[in-house]
Structure 1
Amino acid sequence: MSETLKEKTAKGMFWGGMNNGIQQLIGLVYGIILARLVAKSDFGVMAMINIFPLVANALKESGFTAALANLKNPTHRDYNSVFWFNIIIGFSAYIILFFCAPLIAEYYHNQDIVALCRYSFISILLSSFATAQSAFLFKNLKAKQIAKSGMAAIIISSIIGSIMAFLEFGYWALATQGITFVGTDTLLKWHYSSWRPTWNFDFEPVKSMFRFSFKILATNIINQINNNILNILLGRHYSKVETGVYNQAYNWNFKCFSLVQGMIQQVAQPVLADLNGEEDRQLKAFRKMMRFTCFLTFPMLLGFGLVSREFIIITITEEWVASAELLQILCISGAILPLCTLMSNLVISKGKSGINFWVTISLGLAQIITMALIWPYGIHTMVVSYVGLNLLWLFIWHFFTSKLIHYNIFLFLKDIMPFALSATVVMIITYYLTRNIENLYILLGARILIAALLYFAVMKIARVKILDECLSFVYSKFTKL
């Protein structure tokens, strides 16, 4: 990679990490506050309907962010076409969901959520104004500006949501937080983007991109269903409280793995797309991203699984201890999901949105069929099966990646296994060293400290280059402050 591209990639990952780090830190505080102020059943209610705005937003975005990123030099006409198309789709999706709210309530046997659905889905309208702006920032690797938008949005929305939760607004607080986040993020993306729409309704560029973007659209919808399949089924077949317990575990797992995943997504596709036609450099760049992802995700997620019980009890009280048991299982899949995301970005950067679509839809179908068959056997069985399927699909993603850039199984295992094994051994040693500590506060602190020191020592002794490069880059950034 050229020095310029290295710097762009490093800066993108730095600001992507900063963005996700701040968002997850604030989300941590906000999640603790909400779990103490909002009932389990209210979390369950929101978990039931979250899938609908997520799918609608995927429909509205329609894969055009990825399509624009794959264009070498997208023009104003391209962005403008996407902007107006998304406005039309966003408003259409809201109107459809507005009138479908009673059907959603009937599916969950809960007529009280009709008004909540119609209120929560306002976020679809707000986000429809930001797709072209987001695509412009993404294509031009404006990770710093994206980070500032995300950080400001999470701070403002969390404050408003926490105040409403304190005033006992229940699930209305959760819905308002989501709307405020989207609205603030949209306004700030307009502020940071230099691109502006014009009153030219030319949809030819959209038509030319649609063959590629449609597969991304379908993939994104299936992804949202995959991620929320348990919420969908639990909301129908189990109580609101049980759904809330699972959703709490899912949210904490998501906060942890998205810290790494968001950092990678910030730069992977545009950087890899720029290297198309330079196979050796592209493979080298991809392997470096893979090692960096493994370096972070395995200790972070396996470590979170190790401390999940004491973390849950200390932060959101023993009332949620059942969530900790599910969280320990979910952290296993959380450790590999960023790797799947990276390989997905590679596939998209090569223009193979069809492969991305079929791999994702096959996972979705496998999960839907499996969960529909095993839900009578309990939530734990469903969660274990969910994790098992995601682990299996890691190797399916690799199979297609290897066909595109000659990334064979030996290189793949060489890149991931040292980090996976190191993190696993470190967590096992840490568990046995601390298992006799009874005070939960001391236990939590001791496990975090010992695991971090042991993992750092292993990486140093093994002379892992990624560690030295990360330390060097972070040090250079902070010395400039």
Structure 2
Amino acid sequence: MRESLSHQAVKGVMWSAVERFSVQGIQFVLSIIIARLVLPSEYGLIAMLGIFLAIAQTFVDSGFSNALIQKKDRTEVDYSTVFYFNIFIALVVYGMLFISAPYISSFYREPELTTVTRWAGLNVVLNGFSIVQRAKLTIRVDFKTQAKASLMAVIVSGLIGVLLAYRGYGVWALVFQTLSSSLLNTLLLWMFARWLPLLCFSWESFKSLFSFGSKLLLSGLLHTIYINLYSLVIGRRYSAMDVGFYNRASQFSGFPSTNIVGIITRAIYPLQCEMQDDDERLNTSFIQYLRMSCYIIFPLMTVLGVLAEPLVRLLLTDKWFLSSELLSILCFAYMWYPVMVINNQILNVKGRSDYFLKAEIIKKVVAIAILCATLPFGVRVLCWGIVLYNFFDMGIIIYYSRKVISTGYREQARNIVPLFMLSTVMGALIYMSRQFLLDSLLCQLIVGCMVAFVSYVLFGFLFQVREFQRLLVSLKKFR
């Protein structure tokens, strides 16, 4: 069984990576093209809606997806119950968005947002129809099928977005790109998953799943509100252009960390749930995936942070230049994302969503205090506040995770600090290489990436980093 789960983990991570990076990679390229065709203020309009759309989507899922995956004896009745509940909530939430649209527009003093909100909100309904299909595929560790659906959807919707942006539709290019992506992805998941709900709804099943999922819902709401709160307060206190700069920096900095950590955690979550009663194996896998995630994320965020200015100026043109400094700061914040997420996930694996919720409440009280303290000093200081919050986040979540596994502060620090030091040295080498190439942005990028790659491989061999060897072995196993 151990070999079987190990093989499943490797295959799951690899296909999850294929889905994320094929989809996100294409989406990333298309977003750069669209960003060159629209104004930062037009991007800002969509970012202003982020908190409302994200909260709506969190309500639709309600934590039921994780509850289905975590439950060992799930039935078709469970799946059908979740499906009908998701659709009902999606329609209710969209109705609330539709009615609230004029008030959202008035809050930001942007008249166009009324119509934009009502159209963009349809994504919530479309996504509600595919949550169970995606959960079933995840339980089967079938990320290959999810990759097919996501890839086809993002290519078609991306081309639609680029065409509309080229023809001067501005913010509407972004709205219809996301709508077409949600619609196509949902249709394809229905085709590929080959699952239809039963004509039944079980209150017993609902109560069982909701007892676990409701705490995740509350935790998810707190986290979603916090993540999107910055776009809201920046848009209210400053301008749509400032929101555009912040949002673009946040998306760039979050791209490597959230996607790679998402790849790993999504693939190992159903497998860790299978070993939730074996503490020794669970603790071993926790350390293994914590180190592996940090070994990958630390250097990537270091490279992105050091090379932020030439990257932004080359890809997005000089009109986005002001977002490069914000990007460098946020890269340091997102560097610690794997530590937070993997500690969070272990609480779900052990079924302790109560600890998850308690930790989230404490973290968000701290987060709001930091936000209020930094808000008067501008967007740059707000970003440094996010860095500070991430250290508090790690401290709080580790306090709760050590209640369910034997790995606490000292053990986790012992495993990740050496990896951080290697990345710091690599970052210093990249920074020094830039000083000799100040006249050429392209050369700064190329030489900086070459220095990063060579030092990454060299350090892996010299210091015999076991994660480096595991990456090589995992790549060989993936067929």
Aligned-pair distance for 1:94?
0.5
Distance across 2 between alignment mates of 1:282 and 1:353: 17
Match of 1:399? 399
Distance across 2 between alignment mates of 1:408 and 1:367: 23
Match of 1:33? 33
Distance across 2 between alignment mates of 1:131 and 1:471: 34
Match of 1:351? 351
Q: Which amino acid aligns with 1:316?
A: L
Q: What pairs up with 1:51-90 in 2 under 5 angstroms? A: 51-90=51-90
Q: Retained in 2: the 8 A contact 1:294–1:416?
A: yes
Distance across 2 between alignment mates of 1:172 and 1:385: 33
Distance across 2 between alignment mates of 1:465 and 1:9: 18
Aligned-pair distance for 1:244?
0.8
Aligned-pair distance for 1:415?
1.8
**1:162 correspondence with 2:162:** yes
Match of 2:298? 298
Distance across 1 between alignment mates of 2:368 and 2:157: 33
Give the TM-score normalised by the residue count of structure 1: 0.96
Aligned-pair distance for 1:198?
1.9
**Does the residue aligned with 1:219 lie in a helix, a strand or coil?**
helix
**1:234 correspondence with 2:234:** yes
Q: Retained in 2: the 8 A contact 1:60–1:90?
A: yes
Aligned-pair distance for 1:368?
2.4
Distance across 2 between alignment mates of 1:239 and 1:389: 24
Q: Which amino acid aligns with 2:208?
A: S
Q: Which amino acid aligns with 1:134?
A: R
Distance across 1 between alignment mates of 2:249 and 2:118: 26
Query: Relative to structure 2, which stretch is displaced further, 441-450 or 361-370?
Result: 361-370
Match of 2:433? 433
Q: Retained in 2: the 8 A contact 1:83–1:197?
A: yes
- State the Cα deviation string for residues 323-361 of structure 1 (Å, max 9, x = none): 000000000111111221111111111111111122223
Query: Relative to structure 2, which stretch is displaced further, 29-38 or 363-372?
Result: 363-372
Distance across 1 between alignment mates of 2:161 and 2:222: 29
Distance across 2 between alignment mates of 1:402 and 1:231: 33
**Does the residue aligned with 1:213 lie in a helix, a strand or coil?**
helix
Match of 1:452? 453
Q: Retained in 1: the 8 A contact 2:12–2:268?
A: no
Give the number of aligned pairs. 478
Q: Provide structure 2 residue ranges, at least 5 long, that are not aligned to the other structure.
A: none
Aligned-pair distance for 1:364?
2.3
Match of 1:314? 314
Query: Relative to structure 2, which stretch is displaced further, 168-177 or 137-146?
Result: 137-146
Q: Retained in 2: the 8 A contact 1:343–1:398?
A: yes
Q: Retained in 2: the 8 A contact 1:81–1:205?
A: yes
Q: Retained in 2: the 8 A contact 1:229–1:368?
A: no
Q: Retained in 1: the 8 A contact 2:57–2:124?
A: yes
Distance across 2 between alignment mates of 1:359 and 1:107: 31
Percent identical across equivalent pairs? 27
**Does the residue aligned with 2:129 lie in a helix, a strand or coil?**
coil
Q: Which amino acid aligns with 1:152?
A: M
**1:366 correspondence with 2:366:** yes
Aligned-pair distance for 1:384?
0.3
Q: Which amino acid aligns with 2:430?
A: T
Aligned-pair distance for 1:259?
2.4
Match of 2:244? 244
Aligned-pair distance for 1:292?
0.9
**1:149 correspondence with 2:138:** no
Aligned-pair distance for 1:248?
0.9
Distance across 1 between alignment mates of 2:94 and 2:343: 32
**Does the residue aligned with 1:267 lie in a helix, a strand or coil?**
helix
Distance across 2 between alignment mates of 1:475 and 1:199: 46
Query: Relative to structure 2, which stretch is displaced further, 272-281 or 319-328?
Result: 272-281
Q: Retained in 1: the 8 A contact 2:44–2:243?
A: yes
**Does the residue aligned with 2:156 lie in a helix, a strand or coil?**
helix
Q: Retained in 1: the 8 A contact 2:17–2:260?
A: yes
Aligned-pair distance for 1:265?
2.7
Aligned-pair distance for 1:297?
0.4
Query: Relative to structure 2, which stretch is displaced further, 182-191 or 348-357?
Result: 182-191
Aligned-pair distance for 1:434?
3.1
Aligned-pair distance for 1:414?
2.2
When the two chains are superposed, the root-mean-square deviation of aligned CA atoms in Å is 1.4
Match of 2:5? 5
**Does the residue aligned with 1:141 lie in a helix, a strand or coil?**
coil
- State the Cα deviation string for residues 234-287 of structure 1 (Å, max 9, x = none): 011111111111111011112221221221232232122111111111111111
Distance across 1 between alignment mates of 2:55 and 2:423: 35
Match of 2:187? 187
Q: Retained in 2: the 8 A contact 1:268–1:345?
A: no
Aligned-pair distance for 1:319?
1.3
Distance across 2 between alignment mates of 1:254 and 1:430: 21
Distance across 1 between alignment mates of 2:401 and 2:312: 37
Aligned-pair distance for 1:144?
1.7
Aligned-pair distance for 1:419?
1.2
Q: Retained in 1: the 8 A contact 2:429–2:451?
A: no
Distance across 2 between alignment mates of 1:393 and 1:462: 30
Q: Which amino acid aligns with 1:310?
A: P
Distance across 1 between alignment mates of 2:343 and 2:248: 28
Distance across 2 between alignment mates of 1:168 and 1:355: 49
Distance across 2 between alignment mates of 1:335 and 1:102: 38
**Does the residue aligned with 1:266 lie in a helix, a strand or coil?**
helix
**Does the residue aligned with 2:399 lie in a helix, a strand or coil?**
helix
Q: Retained in 2: the 8 A contact 1:12–1:141?
A: yes
Q: Retained in 1: the 8 A contact 2:433–2:447?
A: no
